[in-house]
């Protein structure tokens, strides 16, 4: 059973690229999947869901408490309805807590009001939705300068380290360019791009997977 469980973990996380957004040895960590796009346009239903979910994000909550504002779905839709980069932050629903009520905004804009850098000097930021909406409306920023994630992975203390030890995940240094890249019509899938950068055995696995994919396409 242990082998079957491990195999299932591999299948569930295969070729996912996860950005760790929180980490505390005593609490655990949280991450979002970068390469699972969900939508490039937002209807009223998605805008409403995102506005409500982003209100549940702890950073946005702090903004609402201090500024006495809430995120308005119609205002969100007017900025991001026609063009949005929305992603499934946690494709594996069995591992996410309160999936439907969680969302977060990730971007690379240092002076966005109320945004916080994930790690000093990283250049990747979280939050700042109110200012993001205003900037898009004023055409200061493009909607695709922002990435919205629905749901997130959450691991308890030592859990992600255990997965790494078992080979479910491979930790790599965070690349700002990769983390902020939109996974829409990429010439090379993000996982394979990172595998090529890493080299070694994982690059060989990537090459074999692409060969398999090409063979399947040709036969069909």
Task: Quick: pLDDT tens for 3-20.
Answer: 444 444 544 556 889 999
Residue 131's pLDDT is 93
pLDDT tens-digit readout, 43-61: 888 888 888 888 777 565 5
Kindly report, residue by residue over 60-118, the tens digit of the pLDDT. Answer: 555 555 554 567 888 899 999 999 999 998 876 554 444 445 789 999 999 999 899 99
User: Does the pLDDT at position 126 exceed 50?
Assistant: yes
Q: What is the structure's pLDDT at 8?
A: 47
In contact, 127 and 115? CB cutoff 8 Å: yes
The 8-class DSSP code of residue 112 comes to S
pLDDT score for 218? 52
Which pLDDT does position 215 carry in this prediction? Answer: 57
Question: Is-contact 169 106, C-beta < 8 A?
Answer: no
48 by DSSP, 3-state: which? helix
What does the pLDDT look like over 140-190, one tens digit per residue? 999 999 999 988 999 999 999 998 998 888 899 888 998 999 887 787 888
């Amino acid at each position: 059973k242990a082998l079957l469980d491990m195999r299932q973990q591999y299948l569930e996380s295969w070729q996912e690229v996860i950005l760790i957004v929180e980490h505390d040895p005593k609490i655990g960590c949280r991450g979002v999947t970068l390469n699972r796009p969900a939508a490039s346009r937002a209807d009223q239903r998605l805008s409403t869901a995102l506005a409500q979910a982003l209100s549940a994000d702890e950073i946005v909550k702090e903004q609402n408490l201090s500024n006495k504002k809430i995120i308005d779905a119609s205002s969100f839709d007017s900025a991001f309805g026609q063009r949005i980069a929305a992603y499934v932050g946690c494709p594996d629903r069995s591992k996410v807590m309160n999936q439907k009520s969680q969302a977060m905004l990730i971007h690379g804009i240092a002076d966005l009001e109320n945004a916080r850098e994930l790690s000093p000097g990283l250049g990747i930021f979280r939050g700042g939705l109110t200012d993001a909406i205003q900037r898009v409306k004023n055409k200061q920023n493009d909607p695709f300068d922002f990435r919205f994630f629905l749901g997130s992975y959450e691991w308890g203390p030592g859990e992600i380290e255990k997965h790494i030890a078992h080979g479910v995940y491979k930790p790599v240094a965070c690349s700002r360019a990769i983390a902020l890249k939109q996974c829409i019509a990429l010439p090379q899938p993000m996982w394979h791009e990172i595998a090529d950068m890493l080299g070694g055995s994982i690059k060989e696995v990537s090459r074999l997977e692409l060969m398999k994919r090409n063979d399947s396409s040709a036969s069909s």
